[in-house]
Chain A
Amino acid sequence: MNLDAMLSLESVRFAHSDGGFQLSVDALTIAREERVACMGPSGSGKTTLVHLMTGILVPDEGSVCLAGQELSSLPDSDRRALRISRVGMVFQQFALLDHLTGLENILLPYHISPALTLESGARARARELALTMGIDHALSRRPQRLSQGERQRLAICRALVTRPGLVIADEPTGNLDPQATATTLDLLMDQVTRRGATLLVVTHDRALLPRFDRVLQTTDDGQVVAA
Chain B
Amino acid sequence: MNGPLLLAWRHMAHHPARTTILSACLGLALFLPVAAALVTDDYRQGLSSRAAHTPLIAGAPGNRFDLTLATLYYRGQDLATLPLSARDTLSGAGDSSDALALAIPMHQRFTARGAPLVGVGFEYFAFRDLSPAAGTLPRTLGDVVLGAELASTLAMAPGDTLYSDPREVYDIARPAALALSVCGVLAATGGPDDRVAFVDINTASLLDGLLHGHDDADALDDPALLGRSPSLVVVSPALIEHNEVTSVNAADFHSHGDRGELPVTSFVLVPHSAKASTLLSSRINNGGQWQVVSPRAVIDDLMGFVFRIKTLFDAVAGLLIGTTALLVGLVLALSMRLRADEMTTLQRIGCSKSMVARLHALELGCVVLLGAGFAAGMLALTMTWLPDVMTVLN
Asked if A pairs with B, the answer is yes
Q: Which residues of A contact B (CB under 8 A)?
A: 54, 56, 76-77, 80-81, 83-85, 87, 89, 91, 95, 97-100, 104, 108-113, 115, 118
Q: Which one of A81, A84, A97 lies within 8 Å of B342 (CB-CB)?
A: A97
- Provide the bound-state CA to CA distance between A89 and B15, in Å: 28
Query: By the criterion CB–CB under 8 Å, are A111 and B352 in contact?
Result: no
Does B224 lie at the interface of the complex (its beta carbon under 8 Å from any beta carbon of A)? no
Task: Using CB atoms, name the residue of chain A closest to B342.
Answer: A97
**Residue of A77, A81, A91, A111 touching B3 (CB-CB under 8 A):** A111
Question: Given contacts A91-B345, A111-B7, could you give 10 more A-B pairs where the C-beta distance is less than 8 Å?
Answer: A56-B348, A76-B352, A80-B347, A80-B351, A80-B352, A89-B348, A104-B10, A109-B349, A111-B4, A113-B355
Q: List B residues at the A interface (Cβ < 8 Å).
A: 3-4, 6-7, 10-11, 13-15, 341-342, 345-352, 355
A118 touching B10 by the CB < 8 A rule? no
List 22 A-B pairs, Cβ < 8 Å.
A56-B348, A76-B352, A80-B352, A81-B350, A84-B349, A84-B350, A84-B351, A85-B350, A89-B348, A91-B345, A99-B10, A100-B7, A108-B349, A110-B3, A111-B3, A112-B3, A112-B346, A112-B349, A112-B351, A113-B351, A113-B352, A113-B355
Closest 6 pairs (CB-CB, A-B) = A84-B350, A111-B3, A99-B14, A95-B345, A112-B351, A83-B350
**B350 engages A109 (CB within 8 Å):** yes
Structural contact, A112 and B355, CB atoms closer than 8 A = yes
- Indicate which residue in B7, B10, B15, B341 contacts A112 across the interface (CB closer than 8 Å): B7
Look across to chain B and name the residue whose beta carbon is closest to the beta carbon of A76.
B352
Chain B nearest CB from A7 CB (Å) reads 16
**Smallest CB-CB separation from A118: which chain B residue?**
B3
The residue in chain A whose Cβ has the minimal distance to the Cβ of B351 is A112
B14: chain A residues within 8 A (beta carbon) = 98-99
Enumerate chain B residues within 8 angstroms of A80, measured Cβ to Cβ. 347, 350-352
Considering only CB atoms, which chain B residue lies closest to A109 in the complex? B349
Q: Say whether B350 contacts A115, CB under 8 Å.
A: yes
Known: A111-B3, A112-B4, A118-B3. A89 touches B10 (CB 8 A): no
| Shortest Cβ gap from A139 to chain B (Å) | 15
- The answer to whether residues A77 and B10 also contact, given A111-B3, A112-B3 and a CB cut-off of 8 A, is no
Asked whether A89 and B349 contact (CB < 8 A) given A104-B6, A112-B7, A112-B355, the answer is: yes
By a CB distance below 8 angstroms, the chain B residues around A81 are: 350
Interface pair B349/A83, CB less than 8 Å apart: yes
Q: Inside 8 A of A89's CB, which chain B residues have their CB?
A: 348-349
Chain A residue, CB-CB nearest to B344: A95
Query: Distance in Å from the Cβ of B391 to the closest Cβ of chain A?
Result: 48
Is the pair A100, B345 in contact by a Cβ cutoff of 8 Å? no
List residues of chain A with CB within 8 A of the CB of B349.
83-84, 89, 108-109, 112
Q: Compute how far the CA of A91 lies from the CA of B6 in the bound complex, rounded to whole angstroms.
A: 23
> Which residue on chain A has the smallest CB distance to residue B346?
A112
Give Cα distance in the complex from A104 to B8, angstroms: 13
A100 and B355 alpha carbons, distance in the complex (Å): 17
- Provide the residues of chain A in CB contact with B351, threshold 8 Å: 80, 84, 112-113
A20, B141: Cα distance in complex, Å: 107
Docked-complex contact A100 and B10, CB < 8 angstroms: yes
Instruction: Report chain A residues within 8 Å CB of B11.
Output: 99
Taking CB atoms, residues of chain A closer than 8 Å to B4 are 111-112
Query: Taking the nearest CB of chain B, how far is it from the CB of A88, in angstroms?
Result: 9
Report Cα–Cα, A112/B6, bound state, in Å: 10
| Cα–Cα distance between A7 and B219 once the two chains are bound (Å) | 130
User: Do A113 and B350 touch (CB < 8 A)?
Assistant: yes
Give A66 to B14 CA distance when docked, in angstroms.
Answer: 38
- A97 to chain B: closest residue by CB: B342
Complex Cα distance, B352 from A200, in Å, reads: 24
Most chain B CB neighbours (cut-off 10 Å) among A56, A97, A98, A109: A97
Minimum CB–CB distance for B371 against chain A, Å: 20
Question: Which A residue sits closest to B11, measured CB to CB?
Answer: A99
A113: nearest residue on chain B (CB-CB)? Answer: B350
- B6, B341, B349, B351 interface centre (most CB from chain A within 10 Å): B349
Please measure, in the bound complex, the distance between the C-alpha atom of A84 and the C-alpha atom of B364, giving whole angstroms: 26
Contact of B350 among A91, A95, A97, A112 (CB under 8 A): A112
A104–B4 Cα distance when bound, in Å, is 12
B22 to chain A: closest CB distance in Å? 16
Task: List chain B residues, Cβ under 8 A from A108.
Answer: 346, 349
Chain B residue, CB-CB nearest to A116: B350
In angstroms, Cα B32 to Cα A222, docked, is 62
Q: Measured between alpha carbons, how far is A97 from B8 in the docked complex, in Å?
A: 12
Q: In the complex, what residues of A have CB within 8 A of residue B341's CB?
A: 95
